[in-house]
Amino acid sequence: MALYVLKFGGTSVGSVERIQAVAQRVKRYRDQGHQVAVVVSAMSGETNRLVALAKDINEQPMTRELDVLLSTGEQVTIALLSMALMTIGVPATSMTGDQIRMMTDSTHSKARIMDIDEQAVMSVLNGGKVAVIAGFQGRDEQGNITTLGRGGSDTSAVAMAAALKADECRIYTDVDGVYTTDPRVEPNARKMDTITFEEMLELASLGAKVLQIRSVEFAGKYNVPLRVLSSFQDEGEGTLITFEEQDMEAPLVSGIAFNRDEARLSILGVPDQPNVAASVLLPIGKADIDVDMIIQNSVGDNTADFTFTVHRNDYARATEVLEQVSADLGAREVRGNDKIAKISVVGVGMKSHVGVASTMFESLGNEGINIQLISTSEIKISVVVEEKYLELAVRTLHSAFKLEQTA
C-alpha cells in the first residue's frame, strides 16, 4: 500500500465525462489498496470565464476579490469529483484550501505557501476516504482567500505530497511525459523516461509548459518523487523526475526549451557608477515586474549599456518605467523589442563537458540565425533570437545534439 497524491489539470476535468474518467482512474488506485489524495484545477475554460466577468467590471480587477472569484473554480471541481467518486462506490470528501489549512502569505494572486496542516487530510485518508483537494488556493493568517497564481495547482499537489510524505506525486496532464523538445515544433522529439530535477527546473523555467516551475522547486526542496503522466492514456509510465546524480554516460544535452513570452529592453549610455544595476532594476522590481535575463556591458567610455528581458505582457509597463529611469540617470536611450524568442539547451551532462556552447552557436550560425543575447548557467545555455527563427533554431539544435536518438 502506498500513498499517492494525484493531480489533474483543467483539461483533465474539463467536462462531466472527464471528471467521471478521473474518478475511474482514482478508483483503480484504490482497488490496488493505495491511499489517494487528489488535487484538481478548475474545469478548463472556467477560470477564463470568471476573469472575463471581472474584467467586464474593472480592467484591473482588485486582487483580493479576484482570488475570492477564481477560487470558486476549483471548488466546483472538488464537489463534482467527490460526487463522481461516491457514485462509483469510492468514499470521498472534498476539501477547500481553507479546509486543508493551506496557509500562504497575503500576496493575492501570487501567494506563496507557508505551511500545510496535513492532519486534516490524513484524517480523511485514514478514515478510508479519498481526499479531493482544491488546488491553486490557500488562505492567509487573517482568513483571506488567496491563490497561488496560474498553474499553482501543480505546486499545491507537490506541497501536499511533501506534507503527507507521499510515496509519489503524479501530475496527470495532456501530454504523456517530458519530451526533448516540443513535438509540435520538432516531430522527432523523444519522450524521456527520466529527467533530473535540475534539468526539469531549467526546462520548466524556460517555458516547457509541462509543469509549473514552483512545483518543481518544491519537489526538489522536499525530495518529492514527481511523475508526469497522460490523463488520456491508460498505458505508459510518463516521465519520472529524479534526484540522483547523473552518471557519466548521460547525454550532454537532455532537451531544448523555448519561450516566446519575453521581450527585450535596453537602456544605453547609462553613466557608469557602482550601483548602476540596482538603479535600473529596483524601479522595475518595485513595479512588480519580473526580470529574466540580465546583461551589462561597460563599453569603456564611462557609460554602461544594460539589457534585460521581461514577460511580454509587462513590456509596455516596463518601457514606461525605464523611460523614467533613463531620465533620472541621464542615460542616452531606451530601446526594446518584443518580437524575440528565447531558446535554451539544457542538460546536467554539461557540467562535466565543454563544447556545448560552441556546438550551439556554430549550428545556429550555419543557419544564418543571429544571436542577440546569451546567458548561461551550469546546466543550460540560453540565447535570444528573432522570433521568426524560433522553429528553425529548435529543429537545428535538436538535430545538432542528436536528441532524436535514445540515450
In the complex, the residues that contact a copy of itself under the rule CB under 8 A are 16, 19-20, 50, 53-54, 56-58, 61-62, 64-66, 68-69, 71-72, 75-76, 78-80, 82-84, 86-87, 93-94, 96, 98-99, 143-145
Q: Dihedral of CA 99/105/108/110: which sign?
A: negative
Taking Cα atoms as reference points, which of 350, 363, 371 lies closest to residue 400? 363
Question: Smallest distance from the beta carbon of 95 to a copy of itself, in angstroms?
Answer: 9
Question: Smallest distance from the beta carbon of 76 to a copy of itself, in angstroms?
Answer: 5
How far, in Å, CA of 206 to CA of 40, rounded?
24
φ, ψ (nearest 5 deg) of residue 98: -65, -45
What is the residue-wise DSSP string for 268-334? Answer: EEEEP-TTHHHHHHHHHHHTT--EEEEEEEE-SSSEEEEEEEEEGGGHHHHHHHHHHHHHHHT-SEE
How far, in Å, CA of 276 to CA of 256, rounded?
33
C-alpha to C-alpha distances, 169 to 228, 231, 382, nearest whole angstrom: 9, 14, 29
Looking at beta carbons only, is 86 or 295 nearer to a copy of itself?
86
DSSP conformational letter for 168: E
Looking at beta carbons only, is 74 or 262 nearer to a copy of itself?
74
Sheet containing 303-311, strands listed edge to edge, beginning at the edge strand earlier in sequence = 291-298, 303-311, 262-271, 333-337
Looking at beta carbons only, is 86 or 374 nearer to a copy of itself?
86
DSSP conformational letter for 226: E
CB atoms within 10 A of CB 61: 19
Taking Cα atoms as reference points, which of 130, 128, 124, 133 lies closest to residue 95? 133
Question: Smallest distance from the beta carbon of 75 to a copy of itself, in angstroms?
Answer: 5
Question: Smallest distance from the beta carbon of 54 to a copy of itself, in angstroms?
Answer: 6
Helices (H) and strands (E) in the chain, counts: 11, 22
How far, in Å, CA of 69 to CA of 8, rounded?
21
Question: Smallest distance from the beta carbon of 73 to a copy of itself, in angstroms?
Answer: 8
Looking at beta carbons only, is 98 or 305 nearer to a copy of itself?
98
Looking at beta carbons only, is 42 or 284 nearer to a copy of itself?
42
φ, ψ (nearest 5 deg) of residue 272: -70, 130
Query: What's the farthest any 2 CA atoms get from each other in the chain?
Result: 76
Looking at beta carbons only, is 86 or 293 nearer to a copy of itself?
86
Question: Would you say 163 and 116 are in contact if contact means Cβ atoms under 8 Å apart?
Answer: yes
Question: Smallest distance from the beta carbon of 165 to a copy of itself, in angstroms?
Answer: 24
Looking at beta carbons only, is 134 or 164 nearer to a copy of itself?
134
Determine the straight-line distance between the first and last CA of the chain, rounded to whole angstroms.
33
Question: Smallest distance from the beta carbon of 117 to a copy of itself, in angstroms?
Answer: 12
Looking at beta carbons only, is 74 or 292 nearer to a copy of itself?
74
Looking at beta carbons only, is 52 or 354 nearer to a copy of itself?
52
Report residue 257 as a C-alpha cell.
526549451
Residue in the block written with cell 467590471 = 57
Question: Smallest distance from the beta carbon of 215 to a copy of itself, in angstroms?
Answer: 25
Question: Smallest distance from the beta carbon of 396 to a copy of itself, in angstroms?
Answer: 48
Looking at beta carbons only, is 65 or 391 nearer to a copy of itself?
65
Looking at beta carbons only, is 75 or 296 nearer to a copy of itself?
75
Question: Smallest distance from the beta carbon of 15 to a copy of itself, in angstroms?
Answer: 9
Question: Smallest distance from the beta carbon of 179 to a copy of itself, in angstroms?
Answer: 34
